[in-house]
A = this chain, B = another copy of it.
């Protein structure tokens, strides 16, 4: 990639570790493209991740970057944002990282409406550890720990975040790269907790075991099952069966946490001053 996007990359660290055809690179590109198009200050942007193939993305991104422990990215990011609300804090996470071990931090950050942009690279599988099922693996799919097919039901991540009180929730896919970029831009512009469920493909572990032989097969699956949020609204439950909506699904602005806290701070200082 040449200018203008290359300046957002740590070129010396490339090529990256991801497998051929892995969707994570597509989503990473969408993020930096969104950052570029919005003209974010690269000095004031921090990218935080957990552990997983997806969570390796920040290592290739030329910002202040933090690769934390599995599942905890949002909690680390909360500390960063609280300590310095001036920073734009982006969290990159995987479906395992965000929704399995990290599920609690996800819902609490949504509840708090703290100003983080969380982008989940959702490939329905644990890629890094070689293909165990995740809370997003569809019932019946195969995984290394679901040799007889997945028996559990998956989350709908957007519904989860919404149920937790999320005020900005969106979804897109690696297939819809331009749409994804736009959705990420909306999320980055949002003042509060913004969550993007970004569907990715893991050809190596999910695809291979589930008869989606090529990366393109997996992307085509996304194309064939995604429905725009506006169409979704008009569909009957039967029509929705097996499909999923993409686009901005929730946008109900509420005051961002560090801003609210700022007011407390002012009040406390006043009181302290008065008492002193």
A153 and B267: CB pair below 8 A? Answer: no
**Chain B residues near A264 (CB, 8 Å)?**
148-149, 151
Total copies of the chain: 2
Asked if A160 CB lies within 8 Å of chain B CBs, one says yes
Asked if A37 CB lies within 8 Å of chain B CBs, one says no
**Chain B residues near A161 (CB, 8 Å)?**
163
Asked if A171 CB lies within 8 Å of chain B CBs, one says no
A148 and B267: CB pair below 8 A? Answer: yes
**Chain B residues near A163 (CB, 8 Å)?**
156, 159-164
Q: What interface size band does chain A fall in?
A: 20 to 34
A261 to B153, CA, bound (A): 12
**Chain B residues near A101 (CB, 8 Å)?**
104
CB 8 Å contact bits of A246-275 with B (1 = contact, 0 = none): 000000001001001100100110000000
**Chain B residues near A254 (CB, 8 Å)?**
153
**Chain B residues near A267 (CB, 8 Å)?**
148
Asked if A207 CB lies within 8 Å of chain B CBs, one says no
A135 to B108, CA, bound (A): 8
B257 and A151: CB pair below 8 A? Answer: yes
Tell me which of A100, A112, A153, A159 has the highest count of chain B C-beta atoms within 10 A of its own C-beta. A153
Asked if A49 CB lies within 8 Å of chain B CBs, one says no
**Chain B residues near A107 (CB, 8 Å)?**
103-104, 107, 155, 160
Partner of A103, one of B103, B151, B260, B268: B103
Which residues in window 145-176 of A have CB below 8 A to B?
148-149, 151-156, 159-165
A243 to B152, CA, bound (A): 35
A237 nearest CB across to chain B (Å):
11
Asked if A201 CB lies within 8 Å of chain B CBs, one says no
**7 tightest Cβ-Cβ pairs between the two chains A and B:** A163-B163, A104-B104, A103-B104, A159-B163, A148-B264, A160-B163, A151-B260
**Chain B residues near A160 (CB, 8 Å)?**
107, 163-165
A117 to B255, CA, bound (A): 35
Which residues in window 119-161 of A have CB below 8 A to B?
135, 148-149, 151-156, 159-161
Asked if A200 CB lies within 8 Å of chain B CBs, one says no
Tell me which of A151, A162, A261, A268 has the highest count of chain B C-beta atoms within 10 A of its own C-beta. A151
A112 touching B165 in the complex, CB below 8 Å, given contacts A148-B267, A264-B148, A267-B148: no
**Chain B residues near A162 (CB, 8 Å)?**
163
A98 to B156, CA, bound (A): 21
A106 nearest CB across to chain B (Å):
9
**Chain B residues near A208 (CB, 8 Å)?**
none
**Chain B residues near A260 (CB, 8 Å)?**
151
